[in-house]
Structures are given as C-alpha cells and as structure tokens.
Amino acid sequence: MEWKILFEDEAMLVARKPQGMPTQGDKTGDLDLLSALEAYCGHSLGLIHRLDRPVGGLLVFAKTKKAEASFAKQMQAGFLEKRYRAVLCGKLPEEKGTLVDYLKKNMRTNLSEVVSSKEKTGKKAVLHYEVLQAKKEENQDLSYVEIRLETGRHHQIRVQTSHAGAPIWGDKKYNPLFQKRGRTEIALWAFALKGYHPITNQPWYFEELPVEGIFQLFIGKS
C-alpha cells in the first residue's frame, strides 16, 4: 500500500501513511512520509502528530505556520481527535470502557512500561475503547476494537492493551505470541481524524478503514 493524499488545500493536508513507512526521517535513512509530502508540495510542512513506523493510517499536516499554530492549540485543547481500529489477542475487561495507566519510557530500549501512579517519571495515559466484534480463530480469542486516545504517550495503545491482557495482533514488541515470529503487520490502524480547519474554523472529518491482513476477518463489521 502506497501513501496517498485524501485532502489538500492552501492550509492543510491529510494523508495516509502505509504500514512500515516512518512518519519522519530516522536513522535508517528510509523514505519517510513527511519528506515525500514535502517533495510533492515543494516546501516544508508542519508535522502535527506521528504514528509509529509499523502503524498505518491518517495524519494531518500544516502547510503554513499559521495553520501549524492552530493545530498545536487544537492538540492541547483536545479538539484534534484521533481514532484507531485494532485487532487484539484476547479480551478486554468490558465491552466498552476506559484504560488509565501511568507509563514510563525506557530510552535505552525504546519501550514503554506501566508503572505505579506514585512513580515520579510515570506519565498518565488514558484511552477509551469499544469492542466491535469478537471471534475465535485457531483457538485464539480475537477482539476487533475501536480506540480513542485522550493522551498521546509513547507506544500508548500497544502498552495499555497488552497490560490489560489483550496485546495487539502482530505486535512484536508487546505481544509475546509474536516476538519470535517472522515479519508480521501490526493490526493497529489510525482510521479517523477530526478537527477544525485552521483558517475557516469549520469542522472536518476523514476516515479510511483498514482492509488488509488480519483486518480482512472483520471487513464489513461495524
């Protein structure tokens, strides 16, 4: 799957990042989405938020400094909403609920872990989820869920779902079932974005549901 532009005007651009492509340049030197879009536009873009390299989905970019400042304010106020679809191995505590944890990032391993709320370096992480469908495949319980982030912590969805007993399918970092497997695509996709236009202040919404890999088991569901 290639990167694709879903919307573009003089102030903002919404694009799909394919799984495996960095959001911005990293030490690998591989082509990243930000560089590809800047080459397409012919000028620099404001990077508003990021997705982990293995995660695909929608990202919004600012085309002007004014738009970038507007999106930064929306992020701080919680007006820029991001929703995800994921396939989990196992079951979450409830059909619909909220996970609240404190996360600490290990700079040496680039992994995060759940720590006590009394840990000074722990940062509060909150996500809301809804189980859309559950099924069993090869004696494995699978849960197809929608997730909305209230905070944006390092590897947040991956860490919190794993800690709750339902790690993401294909996650080689936080799902023990996949740590020794070959190449797999993580079943986590940023499918929806909602916010306000930085110039007109009109609401906008974009979505693109995941349809590849393990998600094919749930196509047409919810």
Can you list the alpha helix ranges (DSSP code H) found in the chain? Answer: 33-41, 65-77, 156-163
Residues 138-180 pLDDT 10s:
788 999 999 999 888 999 999 999 999 999 999 999 999 887 7
pTM for the whole structure: 0.91
Is-catalytic flag, 52? yes
- Rounded distance between C-alpha atoms, residue 124 and residue 149, angstroms: 12
Q: What is the residue extent of each domain of the chain? A: 4-218
pLDDT of 42 strictly over 90: yes
Catalytic residue among 9, 32, 52, 141: 52
Taking residues 211-215, what's their average pLDDT? 91
Is there a contact between 85 and 131 (Cβ–Cβ < 8 Å)?
no
pLDDT on residue 156: 96
Taking residues 90-97, what's their average pLDDT? 94
Domain 4-218, CATH number (from 3.30.2350.10, 3.30.450.70, 2.40.280.10, 3.30.420.40): 3.30.2350.10
